[in-house]
Amino acid sequence: MAAWTYSDLKAKVADWAARSDFTGVIPDFIMMAEALFNNGDQEMDFDPVRTREMETKASLVATNGVVDLPDDFTGAIQVVTSAGHLLTYAPAEWIAGAYPSGDGGYPQFYTIVGNQMQVSTDVDLTYYASIPSLSDDEPTNWLLTRQPTAYLYASLYFLSVYAKDMERAPLFRQLAAGAVIGLAQSDRDSRAGNFVRRASGPTP
């Protein structure tokens, strides 16, 4: 099966919905699906997408105790100082109480406020980058290629909510969540490869 494009996705959403009157707003449903993939939704019991394709690195320069986060930042994986020290996340209020005069010596913690990371030194950041948005100018991305049904079902969920079709909406939400769970399992399996866990300690 050939990889879908943005135009293919829009056409398939309209076809599955069996509606011709929503064509103009289908791009909005796709955009909502991307926000759901990037951020998840606790009320919907929908986990965000987090796979190896989203893992990105950036070297960030601190100015007056802060660094600007990348525009596509959705979550930190690892923060390491330029000297190679691994930093631990802590809430801003905890850091302010524990270190009222600032985190002196080797920094141990970082926190995030708004679009900035509070840290007293340059850092190498490994993070999850947001999924590239689909558009007529950007007709594909890694997620549409790897798991097109996630896009299809999530877009149909938002279309069903828009149409007040509350019988079909839960079905499409469940299908979209299942596609994301399958993607996460596939990602875990691909990382493990043929790794075999061995028992520790003496064996008979």
- Shared-domain flag, residues 100 and 44: no
The answer to the question of residue 104 being in a domain is: yes
Q: Choose one of 129, 147, 175: the last residue of a domain.
A: 129
Q: Where do the DSSP E strands lie in the chain?
A: 55-60, 66-68, 73-81, 86-89, 109-113, 116-118, 123-129
Residues of the domain holding 172 = 6-49+131-190
Q: Choose one of 129, 149, 170: the last residue of a domain.
A: 129
Say which DSSP state 51 is in: -
Instruction: Answer whether 97's CB lies under 8 Å from 150's CB.
Output: no
The answer to the question of residue 186 being in a domain is: yes
113 has pLDDT over 80: yes
pLDDT in tens, 39-89: 999 999 899 999 999 999 999 999 988 999 999 999 999 999 988 999 999
- Shared-domain flag, residues 35 and 101: no
Query: How much is the pTM?
Result: 0.85
Provide, rounded to the nearest whole percent, the portion of the chain with pLDDT above 90. Answer: 76
Categorize the per-residue pLDDT at 198 as very low, low, confident or very high, splitting at 50, 70 and 90. low
- Shared-domain flag, residues 43 and 141: yes
The answer to the question of residue 201 being in a domain is: no
